[in-house]
Every structure is written in structure tokens, then in C-alpha cells.
Amino acid sequence: MLQHSMGYPVITTGLVTAPRGAGTMIAMIVVGRIAGRIDPRIIMATGLGLTAFSLWQMTHFDLLMSERPIITTGLIQGFGIGLSYISLSTLAFVTLPNHLRNEGTSFFNLLRNIGSAIGISVVQLLLTRNTQIMHAHLVEHITPYNLNNLAYGASHINPASKIGMATLNGIITNQAAMIAYIDDFKLMMIITIAVIPLLFLLRKPTRMPDPKHAAVME
């Protein structure tokens, strides 16, 4: 989104998305200190709540925004994901005896990779499909008399020329893609919120994880 729709250079894209990793690193430190004192399900619910909040903020993204919303949402989302994932890892392994943890790790990572692959595929499919749908809807209303209202910065474009048509199509495609990204963010927000009640179907661990063990789960 940042590189193709908003024209960010590669280095700038890396810099503005780096706070996501910083948020996850901070979450690892926090979970390592509180894992033995607080129910992991509560920590996961907090993390998913923060993730959903960041996704809600991302539904307000637009093509003219500054770098600040990207940095703040990335930091919050990274922190939330860190709280959720590390606590989930701890809860998954806390009941396993030591001699089964190698097999447990393999199975856990297998399920995580399968889930990630399915999730990424679905989101990418919806992104491509919604971009095409929104592009079709937008061009239905494009006329030489309302270019500036429907496509930002298009008032100077001559739609009668091939260059003008190509430029106008690029602007509309960017806007359609932005709408599709926002639709994906909304979907992920809804799924994240829907998962939170399911956490409390998990059994509360009979023994709380060792803080040192939680700190090194990654």
C-alpha cells in the first residue's frame, strides 16, 4: 500500500513500519514480567483489543495522510500482537511435559504457518477483487465535468488524450485500491473482535507459567 498506492520509497516504507517491530519487542519484555501474575487469557484479550483498535484506526487511512498515523497504528498493533502471540505460546506449552515440547513446538508452528497462509491468501483475494469492483463503480461516474470531484488532482487532465486517460485510470486505480485496503482492515478488525470471547473458552492453567519461561518463548 505504501509503495504502490502512496508512492513511498523503500527506505521510507521501512522506517515508518519499523515501530511495529518495536511494539512487539516492548510487548515481549512486558509479558515476561507479568506472565506469572496475570491470567494469560486476560493478557491475550488485551492484546487483541489493542490490535482491533489499531485496525479501526487504519480504516481511516487515506492517500493524503502523513506518516504519523502509520507509525502510531503500527506501534499499537505490534504491541497488541506481541501480547497476544507470546501469551498464546506460553499458554499452549505450559501444560506440556518437558519431553513433549519439541513435538509441541513443531505442531504449534505448523498450525500457525497454515493459518497465516490461509489468512494472507483470503485477504489478498479480497483486496484484488474489491479493487476491481471499486474501480468499476468509480469509473461509472467519471465525466469531463466532474473530474476534480471524483479524482483528486485530475482537473488538469485531458480525458480525450491517451496520456490523459492513462493518468486518470492510474488515479482511479489508486483510490479503488485504497478503498479495498480499508475493507480488508475492517474485516480483520471484525475477526479480531470476534476472537476475543473465544479466549475464555480456554482452560485457565492450573499452574501459572514461569516468567523466565515466558520471556524466552520467542
Decide if 79 contacts 50 (C-beta within 8 A): yes
Domain boundaries, the chain: 10-215
Residue 102: predicted pLDDT: 84
DSSP letter assigned to residue 43:
H
Of residues 81, 85, 83, 72, the one with CA closest to residue 18: 72
Decide if 108 contacts 89 (C-beta within 8 A): yes
Per-residue pLDDT of the chain (218 residues; tens, 9 = 90+): 998 888 899 999 999 999 999 999 999 888 888 877 888 888 899 999 999 999 999 999 988 888 999 999 999 999 999 998 888 887 888 778 888 888 888 888 899 899 999 999 999 999 999 999 998 888 877 776 666 555 555 556 666 677 777 877 888 888 899 999 999 999 999 999 999 999 888 877 665 555 444 444 44
Backbone angles phi, psi at 206, to 5 degrees: -70, -25
Q: Which three three-digit cell numbers place residue 65?
A: 495522510
Tell me the C-alpha distance between 95 and 115, whole Å: 23
Decide if 183 contacts 130 (C-beta within 8 A): yes
Residue with cell 492517500: 63
Q: What is the pTM of this model?
A: 0.81
Domain 10-215 class in CATH: mainly alpha
Decide if 119 contacts 127 (C-beta within 8 A): no
